[in-house]
Structure 1
Amino acid sequence: MKTSWRSASLVATAAAVLALTTACGQDGAPAAGSQNVGATAAADGLGGAGVGAGTGSGTGAGNGYGADGQQSSAAEPAGRLAVTDSAELGKVLTDSSGMTLYRFDEDTAEPPRSHCDGDCATAWPPVPAADATAGSGVDKAMLGEVTRADGSKQLTIGGWPAYRYAKDTKAGEISGQGVGGKWYALAPDGKKATLASLPGLSVKKTELGDIVVDKNGMTVYRFLKDQAWPTSVSACTGACLEKWPAVAPVPADATKGVRKKGLMGFTRPDGVKQMTVNCWPIYTYSGDKIPGDTNGQGIGGTWYAVSPDGKPVGAPKK
């Protein structure tokens, strides 16, 4: 007996749904009230994300640069640059007083250009180029300068404009690390200071248990208002996404210890490409300053670190 076109269509549709379920199944029903990232986030969604709430890590509400309007003193000379060894970040570049130097992701190195002015430059004072010299472990060829919009000369390292952080008050502090997901301590070659490179995603043992971390060792989180099935949908938009940056996709073979099922990337309606674990969208937290921080754990009762199989670590059971 011949199969009708309608029957064949139904069979094909069922097979497609089964395949999608296998690829993007979830460990529970889709969260009620989840919304597409192209829509306006509900007010309680932002509250749950901790947007605008102080984090105790220098990344709370205020001018958006992590200093809450804090005024900085006049720019101090850099003097003889040095390299210090950080247990969290490896080799970090400092000025002659031992203060950590930082770089800003919105700047450019080729050509060198600073995009930090006004309130931003108050929170992150530019390091003057005058009198900066290379100390032990620093290649003088890495030192340069860029002319800022106000005509002043700013030190560059490997082309990247260098800054201090107003909330660092003593030598060796790195409280600016990871602020806003855009500020990072400088390595001697101008790159972001980091320990030996990690896989794109890997597993770290912590007090919370085994959790997923990104290539920089930063804790990865899940938002309970997101959706994994039948397709990955993020409910974190706008100010929420600034607080909780989306983790960029990485190849599955560039991960270690993370469950391969549902390990894929997707393109959000806002054009941002985001990684998933077991089809759940994943994020880092701007309030985590150094590898190993879990300051985002439990915020708003909706944000939790991710286990190797994609489950939210420590989330209340439904």
Structure 2
Amino acid sequence: MKKAKLLFTTAIVMTMLFLAACGNSSEGGEKAEKGEKSSSNEKSPALQTLNNDKVGSYLADAKGMTLYVFKKDKKGVSNCKGECLKKWPVFYAKDMDMPEGYNKSDFGTITRKDTGKKQTTYKGYPLYYFFKDKAKGDIKGQGVKGVWYVVNDETFAKLAGDSGENATDLASGTDTVLADTANLKKTVEQSSKDTASINNAGKKLGEDWDAIEKKVEEKYPKDYENIEDSLYPLLAEAAKEQPDEDKMKKLIADVTNKLNSFKEKVSS
């Protein structure tokens, strides 16, 4: 009888332990499932666009803090270092959600050589905050020293005009015009009596200048006027039936100096 009672008690205890173990296992599995679900639903930091009466639409981070680009930077390279970074902290976020009108492919990441830290880029340009911006919508960094700008289409049109594809085209075009000027100089020195050759060399110079003239005038009006003060008298002289050799040599020297200065400016 005692033996049967002992067996019965043991069976009850074992059953309770089994049920408890199953309950703990189920609870643990449920927690694991919840943890995995929470991780998979974790949202990426979302960029956003804000609007301002002065600058229009511009890019900000998830908290509404304005992002900036530095005109002196180059694509993939930050030139804001040391003390500069104290006023313009870097922005970095991973796997960001894009606001309407922006493409994820335009964003990238660089690793800074000075600090070893990562920094997010937009169209190749590193992104920054401004230390005086304290609240959502602040744009106190806009236009600082003429080299810091909010991120929008207007800013990138300006960057392209100053140091992007247009500048590359102008530098290349200026090289061509310089080569034409050198050829005209050589023609004048070696064949001063060969009017046809001088006319043709001058015509080639004029045609290649025409190819970049409009861009130069739009982007660099003062340089345009300065170059034309010497270039057009040179072209007019080269087109004559009897060009003045001495006058042409002086004008060629002036044009060459002005074009070299302009090329250095657009290439920097």
More helix by percentage: 2
Q: Which has the higher contact order (CA 8 A, sep 6+)?
A: 1
More strand by percentage: 1
Larger radius of gyration: 2
